[in-house]
Chain A
Amino acid sequence: MTGNFTLFLIALFVAAIWSGWDWPYIAKLMPVYVAALPGLLLAIVQLYRDAVGWQSRAGNAAGGAIEMDETHSGIADKRTELRRTVAFFAWFIGGAVSIWLLGIVISLPLLVFLYALVDGREKLSTALIMGACGYAVISGLFEHTLEMRWPAGLLLG
């Protein structure tokens, strides 16, 4: 599985080199020679490491170093983890699509209300208060106080 993501990165670097190869030198110096080519070479080395299980053999090979980014630490029940992950992305992508269709002023308070009520199993009153607070921020604060006009959604525009 790890190799799949590395393959994706390799494809990305190859596409970047392919697209930029015919540009003048000045334009391709950074994207092609400084970023994509070294990135591609390093990703190929990483793919080899993935294939031979280098990371697991080395354990925490570079282990004395401090971990500077969070690493994935799921929960014991992998099925539940997968289900919750899929549900999370469904909510998130649904929220983004809803903003596109209905506009942000309606969608975001609705998303907050529904998530708290359905997924979070909060009380109706709590979910309603959260949704109302969301509406107050997005409409009251941004649209009316800061005069930031949000575009209407595709269906309501």
Chain B
Amino acid sequence: MEPSIAEAAVKGFLNIIQLKVFCAMLVGVGIGTFTAVAPQGLGIPLVYAILLPVVIKWEPVTGIALLIGASSVSAICAAYLPVLFGIPGGAGSQATILDGYPMGQRGDARRALGASFMAGGMGALIGTLTLAAAIPLAKPLIYLMGSPELFVVVLWGLSMVAVLAGRRPLKGLIAAALGLLLATIGQQEQSGIMRYVFDLPYLLDGISISIIALALFGVPAALDLAVKRLGVEKQPAPLTGKLLDGVKDTLREWWLVVRCSFIGVWVGIVPGIGSQVVDWLAYGHAAQSCKNGRASFGSGDVRGVIAPESANDAKDGGDLVTTLLLGFPQGVSTALFIVALLAWGFLPGPEMIKRSPDIIYSVVWIQGISGIMGTLVGFVLASQLARLAQVRYSIMVPIIFFFVLMGAFSVTRDSADLLLVVGFGILGYFMRWYGYPRPAMILGLVLGGLMERYLYRSMASYGFSWLLRPAVIVLLILATTSFIFALRGRMRGAGAQTAEVES
């Protein structure tokens, strides 16, 4: 008998009551904090790529604790660089610079950080609660889905290339096609035919996505550090002021936090928006809706820190709604999270809700707890973390070398792993050089296998008549609409930019 929602939630909680899960979460929190504070362009996608080969050998809940712990905290602590150095702390915290840095400059850095941690913590909580609430709401719909509907959902996910391709839709589609092609290497599950194996036993099971992700993101990131030899050259803003003042500011502006958190959740859930805009959407909303916002925003108004930080942290919960309930990613990090879930034997999306709802609730609990931990880490280590921002390239590059090579070699411990990581590292370098978006390739790679499986099952069970199923038609309309909206958004942006250039 299937567990009820309440039973699944309780079992999900019991899953995480283990010392090793908490240890993994703590390690994840540490890694996420470092990622947020290190200025050399480390990001959660790189961290996921590095951790993936290791965690897929662990028990699922322990691995999930490490991954979710890292990403959750990375978002909460993302305000360090904007406030102290005036540089972006990763996607989603760029707008924080506008008011956070002026606050730091005038001696209110701790107040800005306090506001950002508190707003981030509250945002993360709202995102997590939304995720928890979405599961029972989605469950009845999930039972209407068979292979044809699941195929359309995966197709919908693939249409996300329109977003992940960023400014280069054509190159994005080519990269996605390459990803789909690579996903077909190995023995085909349905027919047993060897595809692109070339009599090499190593290729029988296909190429490990974790090696490809590791090479595509790890090698160019390390190369960037080695070539530019950057660290933070600026002196940080003085770490003065009171954290508690920022907390009070945030509690006073609780309604702004709630509004912006829901903007973040909405950006996370709705396919096609692109999560990189979340902070700007929230900042724009706050500047327009807050009293005297137009005059004071941009010159050190604490509400200009609260708004983007709450939205940025709430977005993770929204991202997970789409990732866990529909099974398609909203970005590279969630694509790699799906890779991990697949490696543990879960099929994210409707099948996972049917078969392993407790694991989904474990994700919810871990997301909530690591959000709280991240907020605490921010408050407790506020002074010490600023030092981490000054780690030299000469220390970072060998560390990345170490984890990329070790991560790749640990997959099958075959020397061909090394060949692959070098080959895909070079491919990643050229893709970045020539502007072929790597996230689009990862998307194709992740969804290719699922797409083929569901398409085969649909055709085998229904022939072409599956195309006439009502749910398929509704989902196709939704997928097409979101795809068109994504493209329209790009075109409008292009128009706006042209107009700006002309003016």
Contacts and interface: CB of A to CB of B under 8 A. Distances in A.
A5 B426 CA distance: 12
Contacts of A89: 223, 426
A75 B228 contact: yes
Given A65-B493, A81-B227, A130 B398 contact: yes
B294 interface: no
Contacts of A148: 410
A112 B173 contact: no
Interface stretch (B101-109, B120-128, B180-188, B338-346): B180-188
A62 B193 contact: no
A24 B193 contact: yes
Given A65-B490, A68-B165, A111 B191 contact: no
A68 B395 contact: no
A55 B124 CA distance: 40
Interface string A103-132: 010001001100110011110001000100
B432 A70 contact: yes
Contact of B167 (A62, A92, A121): A62
Given A30-B452, A150-B413, A16 B196 contact: yes
A92 B222 CA distance: 10
Interface string B57-94: 00000000000000000000000000000000000000
A11 interface: no
A44 to B, nearest CB: 10
B17 interface: no
Given A42-B170, A104-B409, A63 B394 contact: no
A121 to B, nearest CB: 7
B170 A64 contact: no
Contact of B166 (A13, A49, A69): A69
Contacts of B401: 91-92, 95, 108, 111-112, 115
Interface in B254-288: 274, 276-277
B181 A66 contact: no
B195 A88 contact: no
B497 interface: yes
Contact of B191 (A27, A126, A154): A27
B493 A120 contact: no
B447 to A, nearest CB: 11
Contacts of B274: 65-66, 68
B331 to A, nearest CB: 8
Interface stretch (B3-11, B347-355, B369-377, B435-443): B435-443
Interface string B155-188: 0000000011111111101100110110110001
Given A29-B455, A66-B276, A88 B223 contact: yes
A134 B400 CA distance: 11
Given A85-B223, A88-B227, A64 B402 contact: no
Nearest to A151: B413
Interface string A45-56: 110010000010
Nearest to B460: A26
A49 B170 contact: yes
A9 B41 CA distance: 28
A39 B179 CA distance: 10
Contact of A64 (B188, B435, B490): B490
A134 B402 contact: yes
Nearest to B197: A19
A67 B220 CA distance: 17
B174 A68 contact: no
Contact of B489 (A27, A42, A65): A65
A150 B492 CA distance: 54
5 contacts: A20-B196, A31-B184, A71-B435, A92-B425, A96-B418
Interface of A: 2, 5-6, 9, 12-13, 16, 19-20, 23-24, 26-27, 29-31, 34-36, 38-39, 42-43, 45-46, 49, 55, 59-72, 74-75, 81, 84-85, 87-89, 91-93, 95-97, 99-100, 104, 108, 111-112, 115-116, 119-122, 126, 130, 134, 137-138, 142, 148, 150-151, 154
Please provide the 7 A-B residue pairs with the shortest distance between their CB atoms, ordered closest to farther: A64-B493, A120-B394, A39-B177, A68-B166, A35-B180, A31-B184, A35-B181
Given A64-B493, A65-B494, A151-B413, 5 more contacts: A27-B193, A42-B173, A62-B490, A99-B418, A111-B405
